[in-house]
Amino acid sequence: MQKHVFLGVTLALMIGSLCVQASAAPVTLVEQGEASASIITAVNPTPSARLAALELQHHLQLITGGVVPILDEEQPVSGVRLLVGDTAATRALGVNPRALEPQLYVIQFHEDTVILAGRDWEDTPENRAELGMGTDYIPLDAWRQEIDYAAATGQTGPANRITLPGIFDDQGTCYAVYDFLERFCGVRWYGPTPLNVVYAQTDTLTITGENIRRAPALKHRHGTGGGWPIVNAQWNRPSGDQLNLYWRRLRVGGEKWAGNHSFRSYQDRFLNWDSELFEARREDYFSHGWTMLQGERQFCYTNPDLIRQKAQDARDYFDGKGLKGYQVAMGDHFAVIPLDNANWCKCDNCQEALEMDKDNHRGEHFGSGTASHYFFGFVNAVAQEVAQTHPDKFIATLAYHVYSYRPTEFELAPNVSVAPCLQIRHQWAPLIMKNDRDFYQPWVDAKDRPIYLWTYPCFPMEPAIIQGWHAFPGFSARNVAREVQRYARDGVRGVFMCGIGEQVDYYVAMKYYDDPTADIEAFLSEFFTRYFGAAAEPMQQFHDRIEAIYSDPENYPAEVRTEEMQHHQNEHIAWTYLGTEERMAELGALMDEAVRRASSDIEKQRVETWRVGVWEYMQQGRANYLASRAE
C-alpha cells in the first residue's frame, strides 16, 4: 500500500449546491494503519445513523486497513470524533438534525471533530404505522429490509444482521456519510458487489475540506432492479442483500410520491362477490359496451358515483384508514390512474367527452391526447371532491399514452400532481423524442403543480427479454445526462425509472438525480479510468462505440426515423442495422485489447463481467438471429 495519501475536495467530481465556509484544518482519521478517530453515535441511534456508522467504519477499513471503532456518546473517547447523526455533541456544535428539512444534510469540520448528520426517520410505533404503496406496488414498510451486512459487504466472520432504513424514510445521516466517503475519501459505488466498489488504498488517511449543507437536486429518485442479463453480469450477479444496500448508497428513494395504474382491485371490490375485498356489486362503475376479461375492463369515468367512490378512497388513505388491494399512494399523494388500455366506456356521456379529443394526436405516436380531456376531467372531479376535506393533499396521476397532453379546455385543479411518461433512450428516434418534449413542456412550463416523471430506461432490454431475443445494448449515458439536466432545469421534483438495463447508464442517472451539474465527459473518464485501470482506454472505446451506434438515427431503417409511429428496437433492427458484421469485428477487437491490457486481478475480473455480460450477450444475439434466418 501507499504510505500516505492526503485526500481533499479535489477528489470529488460532483460538487453540487453547497453552503461553504473556510476550509478546516486537516483531520487524520487513520495513521500508519492505526485508528486515530472514533465514530460516535447516540446510545439508541436511528436506523439511518446505525447503517451510516457501519458504512463509514467499513469503508475506512477498506481504504486504510485500520478499524475505526464505533462508540455511543456515553462511552469515553479520545482523538478525532466523527459524530454520526443526532448526538448531544452534534447539537452542542450548533447542528440539530431533527430541525433540518427532509433530505438536507450537513458535513461540518471542527477542531478534532467532523459532523455527519441529517434528518432521520425514527423507529416508533407511530412511524411504523404509516401507510403507503409505491409505484412498484411495494408497501412503504416493506422497504425496511433486514440484511446480513457482513455478507453483503464481503466480510468474513459471523453474520451482522441489521434493519435498513426504508428508501422513502428520512435518512439524511446516511446521505451525509455517503457524500463524505465519495467527496473526501474517493469512494465510488459502481455497483452492488465488492467487485464494483472503487477506492484508493493508503495506511494514513487525512481529510480536509469545506463545510457542506445540501440536499439531492431531485427529491424523488426511484429506480431499482438488476436482474436483467447485461447489468446483472456487469454487477457480478449481486445478492438481494447487496442490491438493497446499494439502493441506499445511491440515495434511491427520497420524497414520498407514487403513481401507477390504481384501479386493479376494483373488480374484486365491486364485481367479484367471492373476493375477500368485495364490498358491493356496482356494475355501473365499469365501462359499458365491452365484453372482456374483468381485469382489462375500464370504468365509466363520467359516473358521479365512481367519482365519489374514488374520492372517498383517497380520504380514507389520508385519514389513515388503510389501502384496499392495489391502491397506489404515498405521502401526500393518492394515485388515480386507469388500467393500461384504451378500452373506454361506450356510454353516451363518456363518448361525448371523448369526441372533443378524437383528432388530438400526431401520427401514431404512443403519447397523444385522444383521451386527455376525458380522463383529466375525471381526475379533476376527484381532486375537487378531495380538496373539500383535505386541501393540502394531492391526487397523483400520469400523463401517459392517450392522455399525455395537458387539457386546454378547463383548469386542472391545483391539488393534482402529474407525471409525464417519457422515453429517455430513444435519441435514435427524433420524432418520438420531439413528441415527448412537446407534450412534456406545457406541464413543466405552467409551474402550477408538483411534476414528477416516469421514464423508460427499460428499452431496448425489456421487449427483448419478453420476446426471447438479444438486444443491441442501449448505452445512452450522454443522453441520460442531458435529459436529467433538462429535468432539473425545469423544476421536476423526481423520477421513477421503469427498469435498469446497463451499469453505466444507471449510475449516471442516479448520480445526476443527486447532482446534475457534473460534466459527463469527465464523469465517464473517471468511471473507466478508476474502474478498469490499465484496460480503461479500450473499455471506454468499446462503450462509446456501442453508444454511438445505438444513438445515431442514420443506423436505423428509414421508416423508424421518418414515420410518426412508436418504434422500439426489434431483433431485425438489432442485428441487421446495428450489430453488423463489420461493427461486431470492431467491437470484438476492442474487447480483446481490454482483456490483454487488464493487469491486476481486480481489473481482469471487472473486464470479464463486461466481456461475458455485454460482449458474449451480443455475440449470442447475432448468432441466434443469423441461425433463425438460415432455417
Q: Give pLDDT, residue 19.
A: 43
pLDDT, tens digit, for every residue of 8-31?
322 332 333 344 444 578 999 999
Give yes or no for residue 616 having a pLDDT over 90.
yes
In percent, how much of the chain has pLDDT > 70? 96
Q: Give pLDDT, residue 563.
A: 81
Measured distance CA(631)–CA(629) in Å, rounded: 6
Domains and CATH numbers, the chain: 5-214 (3.30.379.10), 266-515 (no CATH), 524-630 (no CATH)
Output DSSP code: residue 301: T
Q: Give pLDDT, residue 293.
A: 66
Q: Give pLDDT, residue 22.
A: 47
Q: 4 pLDDT band (50/70/90 cuts)?
A: very low
Q: What number of other Cβ atoms are within 10 A of residue 128's Cβ?
A: 12
Give yes or no for residue 130 having a pLDDT over 80.
yes
**Mean pLDDT value of segment 207-216:** 96
Q: Give pLDDT, residue 290.
A: 87
Q: Give pLDDT, residue 376.
A: 98
Give the three-class secondary structure for 315: helix
Q: 6 pLDDT band (50/70/90 cuts)?
A: very low
**Mean pLDDT value of segment 265-273:** 93
Residues with Cβ within 8 Å of residue 404, at least 6 apart in sequence: 367, 368, 369, 372, 420, 421, 439
Which range is least confidently modeled, 286-290, 390-394, 415-419? 286-290
Among 346, 367, 361, 359, residue whose Cα is nearest residue 302: 346
Q: 560 pLDDT band (50/70/90 cuts)?
A: confident
Residue type, 626: L
Residues with Cβ within 8 Å of residue 167, at least 6 apart in sequence: 143, 222, 247, 248, 252, 253, 254
Longest dimension (CA), the chain: 81
Q: Give pLDDT, residue 197.
A: 98
Measured distance CA(97)–CA(294) in Å, rounded: 50
Measured distance CA(18)–CA(124) in Å, rounded: 32
Give yes or no for residue 241 having a pLDDT over 50.
yes
Question: What φ, ψ does residue 512 adopt, rounded to 5°?
Answer: -75, -30
Q: What angle do CA 338, 344, 346 make, to 5 degrees?
A: 145
Residue 115 · residue 94 · CB < 8 Å = no
Q: 561 pLDDT band (50/70/90 cuts)?
A: confident
Q: Give pLDDT, residue 422.
A: 98
Q: Give pLDDT, residue 291.
A: 76
Residue 74 · residue 45 · CB < 8 Å = no
Give yes or no for residue 593 having a pLDDT over 60.
yes
Give yes or no for residue 1 having a pLDDT over 50.
no
Among 83, 178, 88, 171, residue whose Cα is nearest residue 123: 171
Q: 235 pLDDT band (50/70/90 cuts)?
A: very high
pLDDT, tens digit, for every residue of 291-339?
766 678 999 999 999 999 999 999 999 999 999 999 999 999 999 999 9
Give yes or no for residue 7 having a pLDDT over 70.
no
Residues with Cβ within 8 Å of residue 223, at least 6 apart in sequence: 252, 457, 495, 496, 497, 500, 506, 509, 510
Measured distance CA(242)–CA(191) in Å, rounded: 9
**Which ranges of 495-610 would DSSP assign to H, the alpha helix?**
503-514, 520-532, 536-551, 558-562, 571-572, 581-597, 601-610
Measured distance CA(398)–CA(185) in Å, rounded: 41
Q: 562 pLDDT band (50/70/90 cuts)?
A: confident
Q: What number of other Cβ atoms are within 10 A of residue 110's Cβ?
A: 16
DSSP string, 491-520: T--EEEE-----HHHHHHHHHHHH-TTS-H
Among 408, 417, 413, 350, residue whose Cα is nearest residue 385: 413
pLDDT, tens digit, for every residue of 485-507?
999 999 999 999 999 989 999 99
Instruction: Let me know if 368 is exposed, middle or buried by CB neighbors in 10 A (0-12, 13-18, 19+).
Output: buried
Residue type, 497: M
Measured distance CA(91)–CA(580) in Å, rounded: 63
Q: Give pLDDT, residue 23.
A: 58
Q: Give pLDDT, residue 566.
A: 79
pLDDT, tens digit, for every residue of 51-105?
999 999 999 999 999 999 999 999 999 999 999 999 999 999 999 999 999 999 9
Give yes or no for residue 148 having a pLDDT over 90.
yes
Q: Give pLDDT, residue 17.
A: 38
DSSP string, 162-208: EEPPPTTS-BHHHHHHHHHHHHTT--EESSSSGGGEE---BS-EEE-
Q: Which helix (H) or strand (E) holds 70?
A: strand 70-72
Output the nine-digit C-alpha cell for 271. Answer: 364485481
C-alpha to C-alpha distances, 442 to 418, 430, 433, nearest whole angstrom:
12, 19, 15
Residue type, 298: Q
pLDDT, tens digit, for every residue of 105-126?
999 999 999 999 999 999 999 9
Q: Give pLDDT, residue 418.
A: 98
Question: What φ, ψ does residue 265 adopt, rounded to 5°?
Answer: -100, 0
Q: What angle do CA 48, 51, 53 make, to 5 degrees?
A: 105
**Mean pLDDT value of segment 386-392:** 98
β-pair type (329-330, 494-497): unpaired
Question: 110 pairs with which residues across the strands?
Answer: 113
Give yes or no for residue 349 having a pLDDT over 90.
yes
Q: Give pLDDT, residue 146.
A: 98
pLDDT, tens digit, for every residue of 451-496?
999 999 999 999 999 999 999 999 999 999 999 999 999 999 999 9
**Mean pLDDT value of segment 560-579:** 90
- Mean predicted lDDT score pLDDT of the chain: 94
Output the nine-digit C-alpha cell for 135. Answer: 409505484
Output DSSP code: residue 141: G
Q: 128 pLDDT band (50/70/90 cuts)?
A: very high
Measured distance CA(408)–CA(353) in Å, rounded: 14
Residue 559 · residue 432 · CB < 8 Å = no
Q: Give pLDDT, residue 501.
A: 87
